[in-house]
Chain A
Amino acid sequence: MSSKKITLKSSDGETLEVEVAIAVQSQTIKHMIEDDCADGGIPLPNVTSKILAKVIEYCKKHVENSKKEDSIEEEDELKEWECNFLQVDQQILCDLIHAANYLNIKSLLDLTCRRVADMIKGKTPEEIRRTFNIKNDFTPEEEEEVRRENKWALE
C-alpha cells in the first residue's frame, strides 16, 4: 500500500523522503503543503540533516502511537521511548528546541523544554551557570538586591 510522500531538504543540502502523514505533525510543513508551496520538495534552511532525522524519528513514533489503544502500558512505553530519545548532548538538545519551534511541533517543543527544565531543577544559581555556561553579570550589590527581593524562596 503506497502512501503519499514528500521531500524535505535540510540546510546542508540533504534530502529526506517522508510520508505526508508524518511530515504534517509539523504545522509549518502542513501549512506549506496546504498553501501549495510543496512542489519540488520543502526547503528547511534552519534545520540540519542530523537534526531533521531526529525530528522525523519523533514524529513517526507519535503517529504510530496515536493509532494504538490508550492504556497505562502504552503510556509507560512512550515515556521510556521519549527518555531514550532525549539522551543527547546539550548542543543537540538546543538544536532540537530550535527545530521544534521553527517547524511548529508543539509536543516536541514541550518535551525538549521540559527536559531542560528538569536539568535546572534543584540546582543552585552557581550550578545553573556552570551547567549552561552562563556568565554571572551581576555586581555584588545587584546580586544582593535580587536575593533580598526573593528572600521568600530561600526561607
Chain B
Amino acid sequence: MDVLPPHLIVEILSRLNDPTDLVCCRLASKTLNSLSYEVRRISLLCSRNRYMKSRAPETRTLITPFKTIINNFIRSSRLLDSVTIGVFERSLVEMYDENELEGEFDDLYLTDERFIGEWLPFVCRRLRSLSISDFWSQSCWRRSETLSVISSHCHVLQELKLKNAWLSVDGLKPMLMLTCLTLEFIRLDDEDLNKINDCFPSLQVLNLVSVGGLKEPKIRLLHLKTCQWAVSNVPFSLTILAPNLVTLKLKCVRPKSLIIQAPLLSFLHLSLIDAGVFDVKDFPSIRVFKLESLNLSRLIVKFPFGKTVEHLTVNMPPSTKISRPLYFYSLFDIFPNLSSLALGPGAWSELELWYCREGLEGRVGMKGLKEIKAHLVVYDIEATLSCIFSLLDLCTNLVKVTLLIHRHVDSNTSSKLKLRCTGDYPKIRWKWGFWKEESRDIWGLLL
C-alpha cells in the first residue's frame, strides 16, 4: 500500500464505514495517521453498546459523549464532503416502548439545531451529502429548527436525509443545489408541503416515508424524476404534479382524492386499498406497472392507460373466497401488450382457487406473454401443477417462467415441483427461488 500515492490512500480510507477501522489505520503508521484526516466521507453511528455503557452507572463516566466524538471528528476532518451521523436502529416496538426518562436526556438528540450549529460551519463549504438519523425518544417531542440552520450554511448540498425527527420549516431558505431529499419517520410542520416545494425546486429524487403532519399535501416539482411516498390515511388528499417524473412508488391507504399528473411516467408502483376521487391522467409512456390492492379487480379498470405497459406485477392480500370476476382475465383486456407478468402470492392463490373450480379460459393477450413470475405457496402440489400447466398451455409464446416457492414449503415438495415442471415443459427456461413475508421478493404488504 505504500506504493500508492497519498490521494489514492485517502480514497481507500474514505471508504471505511466504521470509524474504529479508521482509528486502527491511524495507529498503524504516521502516514496513515495524517492522511486519515483528509478523508472525504465519514459515517458515525452510536451503537447500542455505546448507548448501554453511557447509561450504566459503572461505565457512564468513562464513555466519551457521542456528540463530543462527532464534534471532534468533523472539526479535524476539513475535507469532508459527505457526513452521516446516527443512532442505532431500533424496531418500532422498541421505539414506542421507550423508558419515559429517556426523554429527559438530550445527549443523543442529534437534530438539535444548536448542536448542528457547532460543527456544520466547519464543513459546510464542501458538504454535498448529509444524513442524520436521530434518536426517536429524545427527538420526537422537541421541535427542531435544523432545516433553517442547514439551509443557511450549506450552499452546495446535493443530498439530504433526515430520519426520526420533528422538523419545523420556519427559517428554511431555498437550497437550489439540493437534488435528493429523504425524510423518514418525520413529523413535518408543513402541512401541504408548500415550503418544501418552494425551497427545494431542483429536486430530482424525493423520498417521503412515514412523514406525518400533512393535511392536503401536494408535490409540485418541475425537475422531479423519482419519487417514493409512503403515507398514512391521515391526509385528506394526495396530489403529485411532476411533468418530468419517470418513476413513482406510492403507498397509501384510502385517500379521498388521489391526483397524479406525470405525463412522462414510465415506472409506477402503487399500493393502496382504494381511492375516492381517482384522477390519474393518462401515462402515455408507462412501461412497468406494479399494483397491489385489496380491491384489485375494481381498481384496475380505473386506469385509462394500458396499451404501453410491457411488465405488469399484481398482488392482493390472500383471501379464502373467490371474487367474481377473476381479476386475471381483465388484465389481458386492459393491458393487451404485456410481455411479462408477475403474480404476488395472494394473486396466485386466487388464480389457483379459481382454476380448481372453473378452469382457465384463454384470452387474446395471453399469446403475447413471454415471461411469467409467480410467488407460490404449495398446499396441494397437484393443484398447483395443473394450474401452472394450464397457464403454460394458454400462453403459448412463453419463454421464461420464474417460480418462487415459500420458504416453509418442504424441500421434497419443491424438488418434486421442479422435476415435474422441467420434465413436462423442457423448452421453457425455468428459474427457481424462494420467498417469504417481509423479504425483498415481496413488494409492499398491505395492512
Contacts and interface: CB of A to CB of B under 8 A. Distances in A.
A113 B17 CA distance: 13
Most B-side CB within 10 Å, residue of A116, A120, A123: A120
A109 B11 contact: yes
A150 interface: yes
A135 B29 contact: yes
Interface string B13-33: 111111111111111111111
Given A113-B12, A120-B12, A134-B32, 7 more contacts: A97-B11, A98-B4, A98-B8, A124-B24, A136-B29, A138-B29, A150-B27
B64 A151 contact: yes
Interface residues of B, number: 39
Interface in A90-134: 94, 97-98, 101, 109-110, 113-114, 116-117, 120-125, 128-129, 132-134
Contacts of A136: 28-29
Nearest to A138: B30
Contact of A152 (B3, B26, B31, B64): B64
Interface string A135-152: 111100011001100111
B286 to A, nearest CB: 16
Nearest to A73: B431
Nearest to A155: B63
B1 A133 contact: yes
A142 to B, nearest CB: 8
A152 B69 contact: yes
B2 interface: yes
A134 to B, nearest CB: 5
A147 B27 contact: yes
Given A117-B16, A122-B21, A146-B26, A155 B1 contact: no
A154 interface: yes
Nearest to B54: A155
B8 A97 contact: yes
Contacts of A151: 64
Contacts of B14: 113
A114 B18 CA distance: 13
Interface in B116-134: none
A2 B32 CA distance: 49
Most B-side CB within 10 Å, residue of A116, A137, A138: A116
A153 interface: yes
Contacts of A116: 1, 12
**Chain A interface bracket (under 10, 10 to 19, 20 to 34, 35 or more):** 35 or more
A125 B18 contact: no
Contact of B8 (A101, A110, A121, A155): A101
Most A-side CB within 10 Å, residue of B1, B2, B25, B53: B1
Nearest to B3: A94
A121 B21 contact: yes
B92 interface: no
A133 B30 CA distance: 14
A128 B2 contact: no
B105 to A, nearest CB: 19
A72 interface: yes
Nearest to B340: A69
B24 A125 contact: yes
A128 B12 contact: no
A35 B323 CA distance: 66
B324 interface: no
Contacts of A135: 29
B62 interface: yes
Given A117-B15, A121-B21, A155-B53, A150 B26 contact: yes
Most A-side CB within 10 Å, residue of B2, B23, B53: B23
B390 to A, nearest CB: 26
Nearest to A95: B3
Contacts of A155: 50, 53, 62-64
Contact of A134 (B2, B62, B72): B2
A150 B18 CA distance: 14
Contacts of B17: 117
B16 A120 contact: yes
A37 B431 CA distance: 48
A109 B7 CA distance: 12
Interface string B133-145: 0000000000000
Given A121-B18, A123-B24, A153-B20, A94 B64 contact: no
Contacts of B3: 94
B4 A120 contact: no
B440 interface: yes
